[in-house]
Structures are given as C-alpha cells and as structure tokens.
C-alpha cells in the first residue's frame, strides 16, 4: 500500500510544477497573489513529502529486510547441522560462508526489489500514461507509454546478459573468503614457521586474482548498463523533441512541456533503478540458487536407540575401517572401561566416529543396545553417548555455559562444582569457577583445561556410554592420575582411546590395534 502511495506522490510532483508554471505564466499573475502563493506552497509540500517518503520507505523496509536476513540464516543453519558429517567435512568452510552470506542478503534484496522497485515502477508507468493522456491528450499519452515499454523491454533484455558478470563477482568473493578462512585458522603455523614473506606473496597473488575477476565482472556490468543508459537517453531525447514540437505548434503550453518532461524524468530514475534492480535480481537469484543448493543437500536420517534392551551396551562385530584390512570385534557391558590403543593412523578416531554415527563408510556391524548404528541418526545416538573429541570445541561464554551445553533441564551448582573438582578445574577463577569467562572459543584456557572441561560436560550429561578420544593428552602425570581415578570411581561405562600407558590400570579391557591383542584386566 505504501509503495502505491509513494508512486502517486512521485507522479504528483511534475503535475504540481506544471500547475505552478501555468499559474505564473498568466498575463495578470499579481491579481491572484494568494492563489499563486497557495499553488507554489502546495508544490513545495508535495516535493517535500516525496523526499520524506523516500526515507520512510527505507524505515519501513528495515524490519522486513532484517527478518528476511535472519530467516534465511536460521533456515540454512538448521539444515546444515543436520547434514551428514562426512558431507560437511568435505565442504570448504570459507566457500560455504561466502555462499551463506550471499544467500542471506539475496533473500531480503529480492523482497525489497519487488516491493519497492518493480511493482511501484509498473504502477507509476500505468498511472503516468493515463494522467498524460487526460492532461495533454491521447497522442502524448501513447508516446509516453510506447517509450516506457521500450525502456522496460531493453531493461529485461540486458538483465539476461549479466549472469556471467555476477558469477565472476561470486568467484572473486570466494577467492578472498576461502583464503581468509584457511589462513586465520593457521595463524600459529604462520607465526612459528617464519612465513611472513611467503604469506605476503600469497596474499598478493590472491589479491591479484580478486582484482582480475572483479574487473572482468565490473566491465561486463558497466558495459551493459552503459548501453541501457544510452537507450534511455535516446528515448529521453525523442520525448522532449515531440514535446518541444507540440509547444512550437501551440498544441501544448510551457507548463505542459514541463509536465511531460517531469514525468519522463520521474520515470527515468525508477527505470535506471529498475535496470540496476534487474541486474541485482539476477545476482540475488543466482545467490539464492546457491543457498537452495545447500538446502537440497541430503540430511541425516535414522531411528532412535532403544534403551532397556538386555543386549550389551556396545557390540562391534567384524569391523573393518577404510584404513585397515584387519577386522575388529568386541563388546562393552555396563560398567566396563575399555581402552583402545595403537599407533597413529590405525583408525582409532575413525572407529569412534563410526560408533557415534558420523562415519558410515565401514564394513562389519556396530550395535548400540542391539540397534544397528547405520539405522540410527547421530542426533539420537548423542542422547545415548557422550563424546569428547581429541580437540574438543569450547564455546565462547562462561564455564557454566559450557558445562550445561546440550543438557536439558537444570543442574545444581553443587553438582557442577563437584565435577570440576574431580577433574582438577576448581581452581579456575579462584572460588567462582562457574562464572569464569573462558574467552573466544576458550582461548583463555590451556589445551588440557579445554579437554577436561569437555570431559566435565560429558560427565554431567550422565548418559549410558562415554567415549573419550585422548582424554589425558597434554596432562602431567599427577593430573592424569587424578582425572582417571575420578572417572573410574564414577562407575560409568567408558570407551577411551589413548597412547598413554598410565591409564591402563584403570581399564577393565584393553585392545591393542597394533597386534589386534585383547586383554581383560583384573581390578580390585
């Protein structure tokens, strides 16, 4: 509704100017001073209202744009976290981020273009042609309408020619995004390998690639819009020549000339914007297709773990990973602590990922409470297994925020403090460890503290099975013993991978992948 009001006010400006000029052109203007001042004042009010409405349009569109941006971001994010792990792992994060950013802005931009550019211009053209016909006659109205149709067709034609230019622009953005994402995550290696000179050259090469692609893109778009502007200039000239001829032949007054000129000027600006909008529509359409491509990525599916089954908690039967030809079989019953050890590259982490449903590229059979993990979704498995990866993710926030991540319901602070104490983390922030802010992604914590905080989160989740990947890596002997003693005294079921020989005394079963040797220890 506001778009139509804006179009009407915009069209009223030239007409008000025509009336003002006609009034001032009378032979006796001073005899009607009040009328003249009133008309001039009305023209000024309409012009001012038109300027104000342009910013009101921006004000009114801001909530819609923000909502569209947020909605597209939420939709993409919620879909991404349900895509299979191996698919996500294969994605280039920098490229993915660039795609999501473009898609987010494209969704709102498309809405804005249709609401404030395409629809109002069509309405303006129709109403303007009718008003010209009424005020000046049918012939000027037809001339105006034909001219506008020519402009519209040319805009659509050149709109279809901008695909390549926009794709080149996307490629340029991708170059920067991929490079930045890779390098910013490798800052330690850059600083510790004396790579300043090399990185300067690399970033120069990347900058040159970006420059070349953007120049090609800009040339394509600029040439297209230059031709469009030239066509607009030809139409503009033809209309003014017709209008001048009508004035010369006394078929139109000077005020009518100003009216016709004002209308074509008021329509030229939207049409130039429309040409740019069509170009933007093409760009945003391409960006939206990229986002739709993400949404078309297959999501993980599967049933739920059936608890209460008398079967062992975990059964691995004739498992063969992609990195080995040896098969592995074992079971874990309630209360067991199973250690898997072996040299790097034996597929220990891959085995853990297979158990928790992140990797399905294996042969053999893995069952959780009698349920085949291939038929379970990782989200349902995560309600049965708490998993701590070798390099755990710590989220920006407090210790309490990290401990309660993924936990439904409330947990008493006394419980949280007890777990922190058992894992040698009670010294964080003096007497108030729960409120200690761990920094951006836990950058205020050491590697060992991050690992123990992740273990604490797993303990608090209190699920039937806990899987730990190198839980004591980087810990001194005393801290390692304290952590393992605490975990073994919890009487929970644990599967852990470790290279440390010091943890063996706490385990009920040991599997050595180097020799495929299975040993059941005897503990008091």
Q: Which of 46-50, 78-82, 102-106, 257-261 has the highest mean pLDDT?
A: 46-50
Domain boundary among 266, 295, 324: 295
pLDDT at 414 over 70: yes
- What residues are paired with 320 via a beta bridge? 363
CATH number at residue 495: 3.40.50.300
Predicted pLDDT of residue 39: 81
pLDDT at 432 over 80: yes
Confidence of residue 497 (pLDDT cuts 50, 70, 90): very high
Query: In terms of pLDDT, which residue wins out, 330 or 60?
Result: 330
pLDDT at 423 over 90: yes
Confidence of residue 400 (pLDDT cuts 50, 70, 90): very high
Instruction: Match 């739920």 to its residue by tokens.
Output: 304
pLDDT at 274 over 60: no
Q: For the chain, how many structural domains are there in total?
A: 2
* Tokens, residue 362: 């294996």
Within this chain, do residues 235 and 362 fall inside the same structural domain, yes or no?
Answer: no
**pLDDT, averaged across the chain:** 80
Residue 332 lies in a domain: yes
What are the tens digits of pLDDT across the range 285-340? 566 666 667 667 766 666 666 665 556 899 999 988 776 677 888 999 999 999 99
Predicted pLDDT of residue 317: 92
Within this chain, do residues 140 and 219 fall inside the same structural domain, yes or no?
Answer: yes
**Strand 465-469 versus strand 385-388 pairing type:** parallel
Residue 57 lies in a domain: no
Within this chain, do residues 133 and 246 fall inside the same structural domain, yes or no?
Answer: yes
What number is the average pLDDT over the span 489-494? 92
Within this chain, do residues 332 and 242 fall inside the same structural domain, yes or no?
Answer: no
Within this chain, do residues 268 and 364 fall inside the same structural domain, yes or no?
Answer: no
What are the tens digits of pLDDT across the range 177-220? 888 877 777 776 676 566 777 788 888 888 888 888 888 888 88
Beta strands in 408-508 (DSSP E): 465-469, 493-497
CB of 331 closer than 8 Å to CB of 312? yes
CB within 8 A of 152, min separation 6: which ones?
A: 125, 271, 274
* Candidate from 121-125, 331-335, 462-466 with smallest mean pLDDT: 121-125
Within this chain, do residues 281 and 326 fall inside the same structural domain, yes or no?
Answer: no
Residue 393 lies in a domain: yes
Residue 9 lies in a domain: no
* Candidate from 154-168, 403-417, 419-433 with smallest mean pLDDT: 154-168
pLDDT at 402 over 70: yes
CATH number at residue 235: 1.20.1560.10
Q: What are phi and psi of 475, to 5 degrees?
A: -95, 145
Residue range(s) defining the domain that contains residue 467 = 314-520
Confidence of residue 482 (pLDDT cuts 50, 70, 90): very high
Within this chain, do residues 318 and 241 fall inside the same structural domain, yes or no?
Answer: no
Q: CA angle at residue 239 from 236 to 242, to 5 degrees?
A: 150
DSSP tag of 467:
E
Within this chain, do residues 341 and 477 fall inside the same structural domain, yes or no?
Answer: yes
Within this chain, do residues 105 and 233 fall inside the same structural domain, yes or no?
Answer: yes
* Tokens, residue 399: 């210790």
Confidence of residue 522 (pLDDT cuts 50, 70, 90): very low
Confidence of residue 484 (pLDDT cuts 50, 70, 90): very high
Distances (CA, A) of 61 to 58, 64, 68, 111, 113: 5, 5, 11, 10, 11
Predicted model pTM? 0.66
**Strand 314-320 versus strand 328-332 pairing type:** antiparallel
Taking the alpha carbons of 443, 444, 446, 450 in that order, is the dihedral positive or negative? negative
Q: What is the 3-state secondary structure (H, E, C) of 326-359?
A: CCEEEEECCCCEEEEECCCCCCHHHHHHHHCCCC
* Candidate from 213-222, 270-279, 513-522 with smallest mean pLDDT: 270-279
Within this chain, do residues 78 and 120 fall inside the same structural domain, yes or no?
Answer: yes
What percentage of the chain carries pLDDT values higher than 90? 17
Within this chain, do residues 369 and 261 fall inside the same structural domain, yes or no?
Answer: no
DSSP tag of 522:
-
pLDDT at 36 over 50: yes
What number is the average pLDDT over the span 4-26? 76
DSSP tag of 115:
I
What number is the average pLDDT over the span 98-103? 77
Residue 62 lies in a domain: no
Residue 382 lies in a domain: yes
pLDDT at 436 over 70: yes
Within this chain, do residues 329 and 449 fall inside the same structural domain, yes or no?
Answer: yes
Q: How far apart are CA 524 and CA 520, in angstroms?
A: 13
Predicted pLDDT of residue 87: 78
Residue 516 lies in a domain: yes
* Tokens, residue 241: 């020549």
Residue 122 lies in a domain: yes
- Per 3-state DSSP, what percentage of the chain is helix, strand, and coil (rounded to 5)? 65, 10, 25
Confidence of residue 117 (pLDDT cuts 50, 70, 90): low
């Amino acid at each position: 509704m506001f778009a139509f009001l804006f179009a009407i006010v915009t069209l009223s400006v030239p007409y008000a100017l025509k009336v003002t000029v006609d009034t001032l052109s009378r032979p006796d203007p001073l005899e009607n001073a009040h009328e003249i001042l009133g008309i001039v004042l009305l023209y000024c009010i309409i012009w001012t209202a038109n300027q104000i409405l342009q910013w009101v349009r921006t004000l009114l569109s801001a909530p819609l744009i923000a909502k569209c941006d947020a909605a597209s971001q939420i939709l993409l994010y919620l879909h991404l976290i349900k895509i299979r792990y191996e698919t996500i792992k294969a994605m280039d994060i920098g490229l993915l981020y660039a795609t999501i950013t473009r898609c987010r802005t494209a969704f709102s931009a498309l809405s804005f273009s249709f609401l404030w550019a395409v629809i109002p211009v069509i309405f303006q053209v129709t109403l303007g042609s009718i008003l010209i016909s009424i005020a000046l006659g049918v012939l000027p109205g037809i001339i105006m309408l034909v001219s506008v149709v020519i402009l519209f067709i040319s805009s659509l034609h050149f709109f279809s020619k901008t695909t390549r230019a926009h794709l080149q622009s996307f490629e340029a953005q991708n170059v920067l995004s991929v490079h930045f994402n890779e390098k910013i995550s490798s800052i330690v290696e850059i600083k510790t390998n004396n790579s300043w000179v090399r990185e300067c050259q690399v970033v120069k090469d990347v900058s040159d690639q970006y420059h070349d692609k953007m120049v090609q893109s800009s040339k394509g778009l600029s040439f297209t819009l230059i031709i469009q502007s030239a066509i607009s200039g030809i139409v503009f000239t033809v209309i003014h020549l017709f209008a001048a001829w009508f004035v010369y032949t006394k078929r139109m007054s000077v005020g009518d000339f100003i009216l016709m000129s004002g209308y074509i000027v008021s329509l030229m600006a939207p049409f130039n914007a429309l040409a740019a909008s069509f170009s933007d529509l093409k760009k945003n359409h391409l960006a939206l297709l990229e986002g739709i491509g993400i949404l078309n990525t297959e999501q993980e599916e599967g049933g739920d773990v059936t608890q209460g089954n008398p079967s062992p908690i975990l059964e691995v039967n004739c498992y063969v990973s992609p990195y080995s030809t040896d098969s592995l079989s074992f079971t874990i019953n309630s209360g067991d602590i199973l250690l898997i050890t072996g040299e790097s590259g034996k597929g220990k982490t891959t085995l853990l990922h297979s158990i928790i449903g992140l990797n399905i590229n294996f042969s053999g059979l893995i069952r959780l409470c009698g349920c085949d993990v291939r038929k379970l979704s990782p989200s349902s498995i995560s309600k049965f297994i708490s998993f701590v990866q070798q390099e755990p993710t710590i989220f920006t926030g407090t210790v309490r925020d990290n401990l309660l991540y993924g936990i439904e319901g409330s947990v008493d602070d006394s419980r949280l403090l007890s777990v922190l104490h058992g894992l040698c983390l009670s010294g964080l922030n003096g007497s108030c460890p729960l409120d200690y802010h761990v920094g951006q992604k836990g950058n205020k914590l050491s590697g060992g503290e991050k690992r123990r905080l992740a273990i604490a989160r797993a303990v608090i989740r209190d699920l039937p099975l806990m899987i730990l990947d190198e839980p004591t890596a980087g810990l001194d002997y005393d801290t390692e013993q304290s952590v393992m003693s605490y975990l073994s005294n919890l009487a929970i079921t644990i599967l852990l991978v470790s290279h440390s020989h010091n943890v063996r005394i706490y385990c009920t079963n040991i599997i050595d992948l180097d020799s495929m040797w299975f040993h059941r220890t005897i503990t008091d």
